[in-house]
Structure 1
C-alpha cells in the first residue's frame, strides 16, 4: 500500500509555464538593464523563449537548481558577483505568485483524508519552497519540505527522497514520488519509490512514460490512482 506521497514543486504542485514563464522574462529584462540583446543571449543560455514567455522542454534550468541557473547566467553578467546573483534570483523567486493546476487545498485534504503523509522535494531552495507553500495556504498539509540546499542533495539523486522516507519512518517502496520531469522519475527509481508523472510541466507524456508507473494529467487525478494502486 502507498503510505506517503512526495511531490516535486514547480510543474507539479504549481503549473510551470503559468508560474515561471512571465517571471523569467521580467527577471531577464531586469538583469539585462533594458539591453534586449543581452536579455536574448541569457534567455538562449537557459533555454527560454522570450517571445513565447515559456521554457523549452530541454531547458537545463527546468529541473535544475539555483546554482545551475547562476552558472548559466553569470558569464553574461561579469559585473555581478556569484553570491549576489544567487541571492537576487532566490529573493525574486520567493515573491513569485504561483499558479496551481488544481485547487490545491481540497486536493491535498483529500489525500490526507486517505491517511497519506505528504512531503515536497524540490530543486528550488527550501526558503523559496516554504514561501510558495505558505502563499498558497497549504504548508500545513506537508510533513516534510526539502530544497536542494537542505542537506540531502538534489534530484535526480535519491537523497531527498530517502530523507523523506526516513523522516516518516516509511519504507521507500510504500512511497510515491510525483513529478513533471525525468529528474523526478529517475530519482524515484533510484530511491525505490513508485514514480508518478504529471503533465503540468514542459515534459510531454512520451518523455515521462518510459520512467513512470503512470502519467496523470495533473495531481487532481492522484487520489483516484492511489485507490486503484
Structure 2
C-alpha cells in the first residue's frame, strides 16, 4: 500500500447524522402515506423497524442500509392498491426534500481533503437524484468526483460494484482507497473491493457490531484527517 489516495463515503449515517435526519423523513413519509392515520403510520413504521412515537430505529431496519425498492417491499402489504414504482418515486421525492443534519461541519473538512489531493466519491443505497440534492444542500457537491446511488448502474452495497467503479474511473488501486461508512453493508462492500474500511458511529450500529469488519472505528468523519496521517506515517 502507498497511503490513502481516495475516500468513498456512504451518505446517511456517515456524512449526515442518521437519527436526526431520517427520523424526520420517516415521520413525514408515513403520515403522508397513511393519509394522516396515526394508527396506520405506526403500523408502517413497525414494518420497517421504526418507532413513530420515539423516532428510533431497530438495528436491522431496512431504512438504515436498504434501497428504496427494498424498503417499499416491506410497506406494500400495508397499503392496499399501492403501486411499487409510485411508492418508490414518492419515497425519493420526500427524501430529496428532507433537511440533512451534517454529522460534522462538512465544508471545511472537504476543503481539507481536496487540499490533500484526495479523490472523493459517494456510494449510497439511496437513489442518485436525492443523494446529489443532499450534497448540494450541504454545500459539498462540488468536492465529489463520483456519486453512485442504487439506481446508477453499478449495483448497491454490499455489492462492491460502485466502489470498484470509483477506483477504476480515477485510476486508483483499491488498496489506496478507504470506504467510510456506518453500516455492515458499507464495510462488507469495502472488504470485497479490497479497500481499507473505516467505520463511524454517527449511524445506528455500535462499535461492537462494526469493529470486526473495520480497520478502524472513528467517532465521526471529523477524525479522518488524523487517521489518514497515521496511515502515511505507518508506511514510512
TM-score range, shorter chain: over 0.9
Specify the alignment match of 1:158 in structure 2.
160
Specify the alignment match of 1:114 in structure 2.
116
Within the candidate set 34, 45, 49, 1:47 is matched to 49
Residues 7-27 of structure 1: per-residue CA shift (max 9 Å, x gap): 000000000010111220121
RMSD: 0.8
Specify the alignment match of 1:136 in structure 2.
138
> How far apart in 1 are the matches of 2:106 and 2:174?
25
TM-score by length of 1: 0.98
> How far apart in 2 are the matches of 1:133 and 1:7?
12
Show structure 1 runs of 5+ residues with no match.
none
> How far apart in 1 are the matches of 2:212 and 2:167?
24
Specify the alignment match of 1:212 in structure 2.
214
> How far apart in 2 are the matches of 1:157 and 1:214?
21
Stretch moving more, 11-20 or 53-62: 53-62
> How far apart in 2 are the matches of 1:82 and 1:58?
22
What secondary structure, in the 3-state scheme, does the structure 2 residue paired with 1:78 have? Answer: coil
Show structure 2 runs of 5+ residues with no match.
232-236
1:101 aligned onto 2:96 = no
Question: For residues 1-229 of structure 1, what are the structure 2 equivalents within 5 Å?
Answer: 1-229=3-231
What secondary structure, in the 3-state scheme, does the structure 2 residue paired with 1:18 have? Answer: helix
> How far apart in 2 are the matches of 1:209 and 1:193?
15
What secondary structure, in the 3-state scheme, does the structure 2 residue paired with 1:178 have? Answer: strand
**8 Å contact 2:24–2:98 — kept in the other structure?**
no
**Matched residues, number:** 229
Residues 169-225 of structure 1: per-residue CA shift (max 9 Å, x gap): 111111000000000000000000000000000000111001000000000000110
TM-score by length of 2: 0.95
Stretch moving more, 112-121 or 51-60: 51-60
What secondary structure, in the 3-state scheme, does the structure 2 residue paired with 1:42 have? Answer: helix
Q: List structure 1 segments (4+ residues) > 6 angstroms apart after TM superposition.
A: none
| Pairwise CA distance, 1:61 | 2.2
> How far apart in 1 are the matches of 2:103 and 2:160?
26
